[in-house]
Structure 1
Amino acid sequence: MLTRKGKYGLKALSFLAGAQPEKMISLSDIATARDIPRKFLEAILGELRNAGFVVSRKGKDGGYRLARAPEQINMGLVVRAIDGPLAPIACASSSRYERCDDCDEKSCEVRRMMLEVRQAICDVLDNKTLADVLAQMQLDDLLEIPCPE
């Protein structure tokens, strides 16, 4: 499940992706525009900076911007950087596998189903970029405009 931290991180990145590429955006502007608590956003942007998705600068003209083009930002990697593995349970994780205490993994129907869930999540997120997300938002906006009769 995507945590609130993950959701806010994605919202912040989409806001930055909509800005001019080299323009630094203040923490306050992002927090206000996306309705994210400022302190929480500061921590999230710090994680995104450490993972190489955003760059920051302090001072009068400081703020945040994307570290690379939206086409180069993979959504699966972003979610993993913020929330960790995409698997809904530890025994279905490929990167942080942990054996369950209460079942036989070879015959566990829950694990088998969660492996499918993990794969479906990976198939979507690992094949989407931030640019794809923005394009879908713009398409959705266009579809909401009524056609003149």
Structure 2
Amino acid sequence: MISQRARYAFKAIVALARAKPGEGMQIRQLCEQEKLPRKFLEQILLSLKAAGYISSKRGRDGGYELLKPADLIFIGPMLRSVDGPIAPLPCLSRTAYRRCDDCRDEVSCELRIAFAKAYSDYLGTLEHLSLADVMRQSDTAPRAKLPGLESLTSDA
């Protein structure tokens, strides 16, 4: 499971990607639009800025903007920038590897074997999935119909 911090970072970076180019979004706008707590979002935006994903400009016309296009922002590295390692076990981490304290033998470790393939597939997807890919899929996904709202979408 990703952390609440990662969820908020993801929502904020998607909102920034959907903003008009050249027009920064103020933190107040991000909080209201995405229903995010301001204090927590301030810390997250600092992490994203330090990692080189966004920039900020002060003043009345200031705000936050993406520094690179959405097709060059990959989900795995972006999540790591706000949450640290994403591996389920330290012995599987590519960025923060360490042998598990209770491990007798990594090669035959049942726990490592159980998670290695699934994590490899998961990581491969996150490393190659761009923010633009996610946004395109979201834009073309059929909208769920809520009970009682059928009349709003029918041709009647």
TM-score of the pair, normalised by structure 2? 0.87
Aligned to 2:51: 51
Q: 1:26 & 1:109 partners in 2: Cα distance?
A: 49
Matched, 1:126 2:127: yes
The amino acid of 1:17's aligned partner reads A
Aligned to 2:65: 65
The amino acid of 1:126's aligned partner reads E
Local SS of the residue matching 1:110? helix
Q: 1:87 & 1:76 partners in 2: Cα distance?
A: 11
Aligned to 2:26: 26
Q: 1:130 & 1:147 partners in 2: Cα distance?
A: 33
Unaligned stretches of 5+ residues in structure 1: none
Q: 2:118 & 2:40 partners in 1: Cα distance?
A: 29
Q: 1:147 & 1:74 partners in 2: Cα distance?
A: 38
Structure whose alpha-carbon radius of gyration is higher:
2
TM-score of the pair, normalised by structure 1? 0.91
Deviations 1:27-65 (A, max 9, x none): 011111111100100110010001010010111111101
**Greater relative contact order structure (CA < 8 Å, 6+ sep):** 1
Q: How much identity, in percent, do the aligned residues show?
A: 36
Alignment: residue pair count: 147
How does 1:67-106 map onto structure 2 within 5 Å? Answer: 67-104=67-104, 105-106=106-107
Q: Which is further off, 98-107 or 122-131?
A: 98-107
Q: CA offset at residue 147 of structure 1?
A: 8.1
The amino acid of 1:136's aligned partner reads Q
The amino acid of 2:56's aligned partner reads S
Q: 2:4 & 2:22 partners in 1: Cα distance?
A: 28
Unaligned stretches of 5+ residues in structure 2: 146-152
RMSD, aligned α-carbons: 1.7
Aligned to 2:37: 37
Task: Answer yes or no: is the 8 Å Cα contact 1:86–1:118 preserved in 2.
Answer: no
The amino acid of 2:41's aligned partner reads L
Q: 1:69 & 1:91 partners in 2: Cα distance?
A: 33
Q: 2:11 & 2:20 partners in 1: Cα distance?
A: 16
Q: Which is further off, 38-47 or 103-112?
A: 103-112
Following TM superposition, the consecutive aligned residue runs of length 4 or more in structure 1 with deviations greater than 4 angstroms are 145-149
The amino acid of 2:112's aligned partner reads R
